[in-house]
Every structure is written in C-alpha cells, then in structure tokens.
Amino acid sequence: MLPFVAEAQLSNTPKTPMIYPETKKENVKDTYFGTTVTDPYRWLEDDRSEETKLWVEAQNAVTKEYLAKIPYRNDIKERLKKLLNYEKYSQPFKEGGYTYYYKNTGLQNQSVLYRQKEGGEPEVFLDPNTFSKDATSSLAGVNFSKDGSMVAYQVSDGGSDWTKVIVLKASDKSVVGETLTDVKFSGIAWQGNNGFYYSSYDKPAEGSQLSGLTQYHKLFFHQLGTAQKEDQLIFGGDKTPRRYIGAGLTEDERYLIISAANSTSGNELYLKDLKAKDGAIVPVVANFDKNHNIIDNIGTKLFIYTNLNAPNGRVVTVDAANPGVENWKELIKETENVLSPSTGGGKLFANYIKDAVSMVLQYDMNGKMEHEIKLPGIGTAGGFGSKKEDKELYYTFTSYVYPSTIFKYAIANGKSEVYKKSGVDFDPSNYESKQVFYPSKDGTKVPMIITYKKGIVLNGKNPTVLYGYGGFNVSLTPAFSTANIVLMEQGGVYAVANLRGGGEYGEKWHLAGTKLQKQNVFDDFIAAGEFLIASKYTSKDYLASMGGSNGGLLVGATMVQRPDLFKVAFPAVGVMDMLRYHKFTAGAGWNYDYGTAEDSKEMFEYLYKYSPVHALKPGVKYPATLITTADHDDRVVPAHSFKFAAALQRDQAGDAPVLISIQTNAGHGAGKPTDKAIEEIADRWAFLFYNMGVNYKK
C-alpha cells in the first residue's frame, strides 16, 4: 500500500495528537549469531523507488504544515535574515601574483571567489551562484598549480560528495581539456602545469550512485589534454585495495606523498621521489595502526606529524632515502595537549588543544620555540599555513561569544593585527561563556562550555540546547554561530559537551568512545544534561539535544535511552541503523569507531542494544523530535533517518510530535545554500520554542 498524506493537526498548544503518513511494514528479517532481527522499513532504503518518493513527499507535507502554523516562525526567519545579512570574508591566500579570497555580500546562497592584484580592483574569479539555477551546486574545492597559472576546481551538485573537476587557465579563465566526472573524497595535487593527481571510486555495482557501496579508492594522474579514460592508475585498485587514498606533493614538487587507509583512523604512508628516474613508490609506514602525515621537507629531510608512540601527537624528521620508522628523529615532543602542526614562511606552527581551546606556538625548522601567538581570548585559532617565501600569513580566531575574525600575522616578530572583523550585529559584552568539568557516569571528568546572555536567572526555565558529537577523533572547539544568537536573545542557553570519542584529549580520549566503549559517549551526554538541570540552567521541560551525523546517532541513542531527560530532540543526518550502516556508500570505513554487526556476537549484541532504529520501544513518551536529512546525502544515506522516523512515529505514546524534514537537492551539509540554511534554522528554533511553550519575543 502506498503512503498517503494525512493532515497534521496543530492547535495553539503543542499537545494536539498528530496524524502521520502511513508507512507500510514488510516482513524482512535478518539473523545475526542466532538472533532474528526484523527490518520492516527496509523498503525505504531504495532511494530510487516511486514508493519512497511518495513517502518523502507525504512526510514533508505534514512537517511543513505543522511548522507553518507556528505563529512566530516567520518572525524567526526574518530575524535570521537580518542577522546573516552582512559581508563575510575568508582568509586570503596568494597564487601567481594574485590574492584570492571568498566573499559573501550577505544573503548570497554561495560565497564567491574573488581575486585582486596589489593596488588593483577586486574581480570575480568563480561565482558558484551561477553553477545552477537554484544555487544548489557548490564549489567543493579549488587547487592551483605552484606558479598559479592553472587551477582545477570541483563542483558538487545538490550537496553530493561526488564532484566534477574543471580546469582553467587562471589568466583568462579559459577551460582546458575535458571535465572530469565521478570524483569523490579527493584533493587535487598539481605536478607542474601539465597534470594532477586525484582520487575516486568506481561507480557502485549495486544501488544508486547516492547510496550504493563505494569500496575501494583509486589514485589517478590526469595529463591535461587527454581523456579521463586514459588517466594513469598510480595507487589502489586490485593490487592495493584501500578504502581511502589521498595524495599531495611537497611544496618543491619533489616528492609525491600518498596516504592510504581502510577506516577513518590509522593510515599507511608512501613516498615517491619524482626527480628520480623511474622512482618507485616506497613505504614510510606500512600499517594502519596510527596516524601520520608528511607536513614539509627541506631537500631530502622530511618533517612528519605522527601519533606513533605519542597519543597526543609529535613531529619527527627523517631522510627520504631511508624514511622508515626506525630512522625517525624527534623534533617536537609530545605534550599533555593535542597537537595539530602546520607550516608557513619557513616555520612550524604547533596548534595545541588545551581543554578544548587553542594554544599556538611558533618553532623554527630545527625545533626551537620562537613565539607563543597571543590570541585575543579563550577560543579557537586556525589557518596557520602559507608558502615558504611568505613573510606573513593569516589566521582566524573565534569563540562562542567572539565572531570569527581574520588576523594578519608577521612571521618574523610574532605580531598579530586585525585584518577583517566580522560584520555581524552582535555585542560580545552582553554574553558570556563558561567552561565547567562535570562527572560522567563512571566518574570521568568531561569539559563543557555553556554560553548565554548575561543576567539570565538560573531558575530551571531557560530553553537550553545541549550539543555534542563524540566520535571519529573530532574535537569540538569554540566557534561562533550567528544562528545561536536567536536562541540566546530569548534567554536561551547553548551548551557544548566535549564527549569521549572526540579528539580533545588525544587518542586515549577517542578510543574510550569507540566500539565496545561507545556507551561512554552516551553516558557523557546524558550526564551533561543532568548537570545542566542540577545547576538550574534548565529543567527537563526546557532541555533539547542536538547533533548531526555521528552526533545524530548520539541524539537518537540518548533520547531512546533517556526519553524523560529531553523535551525536544534534533537528530540531524544521523547514523541510526547500526546493523546496516556499513552497507551504504563509504560507511564501511566507520568500523574503526563503531565495529560491525558481523564482527562477533558480542559486537552485534552491543550495537543492537543502542542502535536507535532497533532500541525504540512502543508505549514510551519520547521527546518532541524534528529529524532532518537530505535526499542527496551520500555520506550518511537518508534511509537512516527515514527508518528512524517511521519507527518513532509508530512507537510514540505521548502527544509530542515526531516530524522529519527532508531537503531536496541537498546533501550532508557542505555547500548548503544560504536560503536553505535559513529555512532549516528557523524551523529548528520555532519547533523548539513551540514545544517548550516559550513565547518568542520580537
């Protein structure tokens, strides 16, 4: 039976019972280690079927009608437009006599790439707003040849991870050669001006290009003027099957660097001397145990970042003639803080995370510390990279109460000056951020930063959003969000917890939230909510959970485990079916963090217990939930969210709504047009205030 559209009923209170589109059930079963698991909504995994299309349309109709009847949704949307309508700039970078930078005049759907010669007028170089009629095609990457005369840029259509590559002469922007297609998870590494390295997968053998399994990456060299079908396979394929392969060249273009991995953590490292006649690809590290990257070279001396024997990271050197681990010499030692190094102006910049905030030190290439960069406050600094001959570089600084600001940094004396201030209408002096350390279930101290407008009363009635991620070694460091102004203007609180599974305290912190320890992540998040309630920032009637991708899994798992703790839940583009996630696109690469249901009986039972789709129980009052996904999300396929929405609508016992918003011509998040972003944020805040019974004040 095909789904039908039922009118969403909405009154002046959020307690009116909902009527949802019908979602048919099928008798689909799988057996894992003797346990039978039903999967009644598997038909929703077929993103090409007419049935799925009709279901999506029916769900969107109910969601749009519900949201449209919230009386202040348009007020929130107009406020967002006003807040976002200011000029936004990226850090500038220099290529071939030009300074390039991205600029958005305010409400442009896509930022425009400009260039400018010293003393000259800015000119538009690439305008992604012209790539498609609805501005859903975006610029996914721009790479120049060393002298800046050639450029290859990638275009993503509808937010997909699949891109096409177009090559231009930078001087007159004339197109060179054919457009490359079916490129995915790839940088562009130029070798001279005649060709470049890039990575891609074969098209999926089964399923659609947006959901089919992509198994093995391949590294190619494309010679300009030749057809893509003639491109030379450099690494990967049948002889060396790897799930992820990336390539880069040292700045002097002497060495080709190849990184290969089968999961999101741990990589092999290979090197090829391009000046040597018939130079072979030689291994530097021939296993996947740790993470490594060549960050620079001086002649044959290589500078390598690694976390081998250093969970928080260090920098070592080695001669390219004998690059094996046994020959590495330590240059910058591991510290108690997590290291992310970069290079510029012939210097090394050690960007450390200290309790989830930035500390940056400048070293010479012999490992001598020269300066600590004086940052304007406690927050996140990034972008310390430039060419070797540069005398200055640019970096950004931001925090939850400090709008992103670009600084110019003089490498010789370590002095910073403001280059571009943010134009957002926001007075930081009216707001404050406070870092706390709260105990998780097992006693582990977890940091959290809580941000709000000064003067709020801690009476348990402040609408509060708890945000988290907790996975894949990702560190959540402070960053300003214009969207959050709307929440805080209404007396709201924004809290970000630095959960285990992330990278805030290095490899140990990451591993403590993976596989059979994944429950630690959920416990950390639940404990954060309990802390906020105990500290009177909020209460169960005013607490919302929010997260995307792996953070969507976090929201889904914790609202199922503790439905009483949250009033509202926002799982975005989440990984919701933990038994089948690895069967779609590049999902199999996530097994380092999650494990798979086929690994062992123990791993299956662990995943099955917390998998949001499977852990739901009928007759439970779950929070008001707004699930968000997109039809072109080929990172976390929308079937995860479809199946979770269907199961949650089926099992919801309370009056709280369970809605799903499925954006069309949109993907996992990158390149999303401004108008779509505004709609999504307005929906979120309207849904939050309405279901908390908060009266939005203009």
The letter for the amino acid at 73 is R
- 549 classed as catalytic: yes
| H or E segment to which residue 650 belongs | helix 639-651
Q: Answer whether 621's CB lies under 8 Å from 587's CB.
A: no
Both tokens assigned to 10: 């909405």
334 touches 312 (CB < 8 A): yes
CA angle centred on 572, ends 568 and 578, rounded to 5°: 105
User: For residues 18 and 8, is the Cβ–Cβ distance under 8 A?
Assistant: yes
Q: Which residues of 547-581 are buried (b: 16+ CB within 10 A; e: fewer)?
A: bbbbbbbbbbbbbbbbbebbbbbbbbbbbbbbbbb
State the CB neighbour count (10 A cutoff) for residue 319: 12
Give 217's strand partners. Answer: 201, 242
For residue 277, which phi and psi values (nearest 5 degrees)? -70, 125
Catalytic residue among 217, 632, 640, 668: 668
Strand partners, 381: 397
222: its two tokens: 């494309």
Dihedral of alpha carbons 506, 295, 591, 661, sign: positive
Q: Which of 186, 549, 641, 661 is catalytic?
A: 549
In angstroms, the CA 616 to CA 627 distance is: 15
Cα-to-chain-centroid distance, residue 567: 26
What Rg value do the Cα atoms of the chain yield, rounded? 25
With the C-alpha atoms ordered 305, 307, 312, 318, is the resulting torsion angle positive or negative?
negative
- Which two structure tokens, joined as six digits, stand for 425? 């209408």
Is 440 annotated in the active site?
no
- Residues that are catalytic: 549, 668
